[in-house]
Amino acid sequence: MPIIGEVLTPASWNAVDIKSLMFLTAALPVGSVGGATGMNAWIADVVLPSSVPENIFLFALLVAALSMVIHMFMGSVMAVLGVCVPAFISFAAGSSVSPLAVALIVFTSINIHYILPFHNLPILIGEGKDAGGYTSKEAMRMGIPLTAVVFVVVLVEAAWFHLFGLM
């Protein structure tokens, strides 16, 4: 680039973690595939109750808990967003809950939550002696109690959304 100089050099490409990049690239289309195959609708029909809870806090806890359970099985934050956000938005369609609030509750609950390093890309990238220096066991020791924190954050988030009329 003029004035700035070289932005990327051949040595820069050696620092790219190709395994994590491939994992992220494969995880992104899962939501689209789930919509095309009917998996998103199936999850909404099987997992979600027949009606939306009237209590906003109960609704937020339900969305967070189910998002985290699905996250435990699917693993990728991006893949779970692609599956859960459309399912929960259609679930809450007849209620007073805004689609924005639903999407942000799902995002918050699965982005904060992890048990194993592969559940969250920044944790995965930091695992190992050459990166952050922690092991899977140490990530689990931090991730398990963090699950309780997720529920507290989601409750505060629900109160905030209620304050601004989104719930």
Is the distance from CB of 85 to CB of 34 less than 8 angstroms?
Answer: no
* Number of domains making up the chain: 1
54 or 29, which is more confident? 54
Please report the pLDDT score of residue 154 as a whole number: 95
Residue 160 has pLDDT above 80, yes or no: yes
* Per-residue model confidence (pLDDT) at position 9: 72
1 in any annotated domain: no
Q: Give the residue with greater pLDDT, 80 vs 30.
A: 80
Q: Is residue 5 part of a domain?
A: no
Quick check: is 4 in a domain? no
Average pLDDT, the chain: 80
Considering the domain boundaries, does residue 3 fall inside one? no
From CA 17, how far away is CA 27, in angstroms rounded? 16
pLDDT digit string (tens) for 17-48?
677 677 667 766 776 777 788 877 777 778 78
